[in-house]
Structure 1
Amino acid sequence: MALNFHQLHIFYTVAERGSFSAAAQALHMTQPAVTMQVQSLEDYFGTKLLLRSTKRIELTEAGNALMPYARRSIELIRDTDMQMSKFTKQLKGRLQLGASLTIGEYILPRLLGPFGQEYPHITISMKVMNTAQILEEIINHQLNFGLIEAPVNHPDMHMEAVMSDELKLIVSKSHPLAEASSVSINDVIAYPFVLREQGSGTRLVMEEQLRNKNIDPGELKIVMELGSTGAVKSAVEADLGISFVSASSVKHEVALGLIKAIPLTDATFKRQFYSMYLKSALLPISAVTFLTFLRERDLQQWL
């Protein structure tokens, strides 16, 4: 009997999840089938890999020794899929992903067209929701992966930067700063702000960059907190305050002259967008192909 990658993947998932039932749910298998595959792997090596108890499984010495090799085998399969995805032009399938608000509303719609032209047989189903909801649906296996604006610290999640973005200062066309060719960050903080809600990716990036400039975000004059970038843009256009938003989200309004984007002389608000999926999951080749597309293409030509 040859060593079986499928069995290694099952063993790794059981060890990561801490129980056969949790691994069965993650792998969309029955619990007896998971147990049988682990037993087959133990028969192959001729030793116990897991100690079963009523509360939680534990790794034996042999199981602990096998874990890094099982992990590397999963990573190797992922890398193989990523490399081969460049050549699989006739892929078919349905891709289910979640995207946080800015990405889902302003970034991905401009990228799905070019992707669809290259891979016309892949159908994409996208849910636009906040990061916490995306995390929950991935854990519950309702989504393959998510695209989010700030990394999440979760022991079961793999995070990877796949896209770059930059926040821009926006003001109304009648604002005192509207005619300036550029401004300093200290000039900006004297004005009232309209911001996304606490905890949003955009807000977190803005506050982090302000702290890097020794500016306490708590000292800003925040006149309004809103739950979407669209609402923020409307408030800025109505001259209720100024804000920082993704450059991609405001291209239309700037082109029409409804809002002015003002360059900063002494600060940049750059950030990364991240993919998020379960460490123990092997993504379908359609998902790997989409992530490879995001990583390796010059996305700015479409944004």
Structure 2
Amino acid sequence: MNFHQLHIFYTVSERGSFSAAAQTLHMTQPAVTMQVQALEDYFGTKLFNRTTKKILLSEAGQMLMPYAQRSIELMRETDQAMSAFTHMLGGRLQLGASLTIGEYVLPRLLGPFGKEYPNISIMMKVMNTSQIMEEIHKHQLNFGLIEAPVTHPDMVIEPVMGDELKLIVPRDHPLAAKHEVTLEEALQHPFILREQGSGTRSVMEEQILAKGLDLASMRIVMELGSTGAVKSAVEAGLGITMISTSSVKHEVTLGLLKIVNISDASLKRQFYAIHLKSTLLPISAVTFLTFLRQHSLDSL
């Protein structure tokens, strides 16, 4: 028995068929079948009950399943623990990132990462969460980075870094002279927001509702499909917004926009990594995610 066989057994169970497991593992179906049979020979019992339509875990397979799962979790933990010592790693990472992460967060982190791990190349696609999940399922991406947690039976979702939304106003706005305001005071002004369903907008709306304030009373003068468009509209004096501080560092440095603290609301949030349960990430991907967890956005 070896870890490879346990991983194949686990994947067949998770995916529900030998053909689907073969696709996930980038193996041929006969090779997957052979490895499962070798594991069954080792234990001297059948691990799956096979029918013409589907396969189900046998009683022995049900007993083995939690041990196989624990072995995969232990391998992931091992990779994470050893990632600090793998500076000569090479390889190509293919990842998806949602809009704020891909356009404003990762570019500031890729430079330091590249200096520390010069032989790892990264190919990043900026897209929405559903597109990221679809491409992960098709094995076109190793993993994704998203702005809000999702639930999916085939996916592992884990936090990797924190972020915070703040009130962003034009430099000549009446609120620009204040260090902080209450949430209710901020909501008295016209707002420019990301589109409905965006991670950024969801965090803001949850906090407004948590404070017992009325979302319908907000004066929303514009809804835009990108953070860049929101920033430009705010800079032009069309309204104020709440977006990630990571996305406005350049404009704040130039004095084009002003960050105002909200005294009575916490708009902190997590960014999440997402990947298939049945797929072990390459050590280069584990190293990249470990790097993200260890670096504060405020320090860059």
TM-score band, normalised by shorter chain: over 0.9
Equivalent residue, structure 2, for 1:99: 97
State the secondary structure of the residue aligned to 1:160: strand
Equivalent residue, structure 2, for 1:73: 71
Of 227, 230, 233, which residue of structure 2 is paired with 1:229? 227
- CA displacement at 1:179 relative to structure 2: 1.7
Q: Does 1:254 align with 2:252?
A: yes
Equivalent residue, structure 2, for 1:170: 168
- CA displacement at 1:296 relative to structure 2: 2.2
Report Cα offsets for 1:112-139 as digits up to 9, x if no partner: 1111111100011111111111111101
Structure 2: how far apart are the matches of 1:76 and 1:100?
29
Equivalent residue, structure 2, for 1:282: 280
Q: Does 1:239 align with 2:255?
A: no
Report Cα offsets for 1:88-126 as digits up to 9, x if no partner: 111011111111000010110000111111110001111
- CA displacement at 1:82 relative to structure 2: 0.6
Equivalent residue, structure 1, for 2:202: 204
Moved more, 201-210 or 69-78: 201-210
Equivalent residue, structure 1, for 2:24: 26
Q: For 1:76, give the aligned amino acid.
A: L
- CA displacement at 1:32 relative to structure 2: 1.2
Equivalent residue, structure 2, for 1:54: 52
Q: For 1:246, give the aligned amino acid.
A: S
Structure 2: how far apart are the matches of 1:110 and 1:181?
26
Structure 2: how far apart are the matches of 1:218 and 1:279?
40
Alpha-carbon RMSD: 1.1
Name the CA shift for 1:117/1:150 in 2 (closer, same or farther; >3 Å): same
- CA displacement at 1:254 relative to structure 2: 1.1
Name the CA shift for 1:230/1:55 in 2 (closer, same or farther; >3 Å): same
Structure 2: how far apart are the matches of 1:220 and 1:55?
54
Of 279, 290, 293, which residue of structure 1 is paired with 2:291? 293
TM-score, L = length of structure 2 = 0.98
Report Cα offsets for 1:146-196 as digits up to 9, x if no partner: 111001111111111110100010111232222222211111111111111
- CA displacement at 1:299 relative to structure 2: 4.2
Equivalent residue, structure 2, for 1:12: 10
Moved more, 167-176 or 59-68: 167-176
State the secondary structure of the residue aligned to 2:174: coil
Equivalent residue, structure 2, for 1:158: 156
- Structure 2 residue ranges without an equivalent (≥5): none
State the secondary structure of the residue aligned to 2:165: strand
Moved more, 257-266 or 97-106: 257-266
User: Identical aligned pairs, as a percentage?
Assistant: 71
Equivalent residue, structure 2, for 1:112: 110
Q: For 2:290, give the aligned amino acid.
A: T
State the secondary structure of the residue aligned to 2:85: coil
Q: For 2:20, give the aligned amino acid.
A: A
- CA displacement at 1:297 relative to structure 2: 3.2
Aligned pairs, number: 300
Structure 1: how far apart are the matches of 2:192 and 2:43?
62
State the secondary structure of the residue aligned to 1:177: helix
8 Å CA contact 2:159–2:271 kept in 1: the answer is: yes
Q: For 2:262, give the aligned amino acid.
A: L
State the secondary structure of the residue aligned to 1:70: helix
- CA displacement at 1:240 relative to structure 2: 1.5
Structure 2: how far apart are the matches of 1:14 and 1:221?
52
8 Å CA contact 2:246–2:297 kept in 1: the answer is: no
Q: For 1:188, give the aligned amino acid.
A: A
Structure 2: how far apart are the matches of 1:245 and 1:265?
16
State the secondary structure of the residue aligned to 2:101: helix
State the secondary structure of the residue aligned to 2:87: coil
Structure 1: how far apart are the matches of 2:242 and 2:18?
47
Q: For 2:285, give the aligned amino acid.
A: A
Q: For 1:226, give the aligned amino acid.
A: L
Of 133, 142, 145, which residue of structure 1 is paired with 2:143? 145
- Structure 1 residue ranges without an equivalent (≥5): none
Structure 1: how far apart are the matches of 2:223 and 2:246?
21
